[in-house]
Amino acid sequence: MLTPRQKLILSAIVENYVRSAEPVGSRTLSKNQDFNLSPATIRNEMADLEELGFLDQPHTSAGRIPSQKGYRYYVDNLQPSLDLDSVTVHALRELFRQRMDEMERVVQQTSVVLSQLTQYTAIVLGPQVNHEKIHHIQLIPIGHNKAVAILVTDTGRVSNRQVQLSEDISSDEVTKMVELLNNRLHGVAMTRLKSSVYRELATEMANTLEHYEDAIALLNELGKVPDVDSTKVYVGGAMQMLDQPEFRDVDKVRPLLEMFERADSSGLERVVTMNSPGIQVRIGLENNNPTLQDCTVISAAYTAAGQPVGSIGIIGPTRMNYGRVIQILDVVSHALTATMTQRMHGNSG
């Protein structure tokens, strides 16, 4: 359908546009060493490709961008076949072989299940970092002098950071560094990572490791994520509010939906309290948040080894099936508590 020259030009436009997000002009292509064509020739070919529907011209006298038809032709016929390097393949296999984030998935899935069971919006706060201890650290190479540092806590929370390694560091040295960190940090509270533990480890690593600066940099990165005051917020069934007659007025429901959408930054974690034991029910104006003045919030904490680590809650209209929701939250909070406690005991060995 396309001539070899048109294929070459279309391929170059797609790849340039993907990189730059700017329309591609004939002069840009003519500077490519693979092209032995004048800008005028390229312009003519681009005009033909546009007429055939493979390119669009967003502005008069501007360059071209691929159309959806152009992208489809590129994907089907022109994109080069690239083989992943062995380091990347190994890293991917390692990541998928591990089930380190299992607990985090359980917490996330809980919000979906709660919403399905109650037909209201569910909020689940993941385990707070300041209640967690370090379980183990991994370092997985992803390319030349780069690696992903993975930190797993006793509750199953997973954090990762990309780190840069020294040019001449050996795999044996990397193994030694990770072993040292795991020996010293296993069971240490996340809140201590930036304080006394850091100072003690820095001295020991300087005396023990040849590339101790890499270990220091790794420790610094692990101390950055996650923040010790952070809480992950999972929202399930935000659109359930639209099914309630009370919230079919768009102006009335919009603030609620905006609050759910900004779950991590709007203080939604304060809506579902975890400071009080048992089931908490706040109706209408009992909620301090003005956005919830026409809502009921029912919440319950879940614990790990007797310590509160997170909470779950249901938000719906004040016209709520209270008995059913309270029973469901009671069962789920106890189940999460049992699972979290079992996870912590299993990781303590």
The 10s digit of each residue's pLDDT in 93-147 is 454 344 444 666 677 778 888 888 888 999 988 765 556 778 888 888 777 778 8
Do 246 and 284 contact (CB within 8 A), yes or no? no
| pLDDT for res 99 | 43
Could you tell me if 292 and 283 are in contact, meaning their C-beta atoms sit under 8 angstroms apart?
A: no
DSSP 75: I
What are the boundaries of each domain within the chain?
4-78, 99-127+231-347, 130-224
Nearest to 340 by CA among 100, 101, 107, 98: 107
* 303's tokens: 């614990």
Q: Dihedral of the CA atoms 315, 321, 322, 324 (nearest 10)?
A: -100
Backbone angles phi, psi at 54, to 5 degrees: -90, -20
Per the omega criterion (within 30 degrees of 0), is the bond before 23 cis? Answer: no
pLDDT top residue among 10 and 107: 10
The per-residue pLDDT for 122 is: 92
* Count of C-beta atoms within a 10 Å radius of residue 321: 13
Is a pLDDT exceeding 70 seen at residue 347? no
- According to CATH, what is the number of the domain 130-224? 3.30.390.60
**Residue 244, pLDDT score:** 81
Give the 3-state secondary structure of residue 108: helix
The fold of 4-78 is Arc Repressor Mutant, subunit A (1.10.10)
The pLDDT of residue 309 is 77
Is the pLDDT score of 166 beyond 90?
no
Instruction: State how far Cα 349 lies from the chain centre.
Output: 29
pLDDT at residue 148, rounded to an integer: 83
Confidence of residue 205 (pLDDT cuts 50, 70, 90): confident
How does the average pLDDT of the chain come out, rounded? 77
Give the Cβ contact number of residue 24 at 10 Å.
24
> Are 4-78 and 130-224 in the same CATH fold?
no
Does 280 score more than 80 pLDDT?
yes
CA dihedral in degrees (312, 314, 315, 321; nearest 10)?
-160
> CB-based contacts of 45: which residues, under 8 Å, 6+ apart?
5, 6, 9, 37
Q: Which fold has domain 99-127+231-347?
A: Beta-Lactamase (3.30.450)
3-state class (DSSP) for residue 176: helix
Of the candidates 238, 33, 202, 258, the residue with the CA atom closest to the CA atom of residue 123: 238
pTM summary value: 0.50
Please name which of 55, 35, 36 lies closest in space to residue 46, comparing C-alpha atoms. Answer: 55
Give the tokens for residue 179: 């072993």
Residue 265 has pLDDT above 50, yes or no: no
**What's the start-to-end Cα distance of the chain, in Å?**
65
Q: Higher-confidence residue: 320 or 90? A: 320
The H or E element containing residue 7 is: helix 4-20
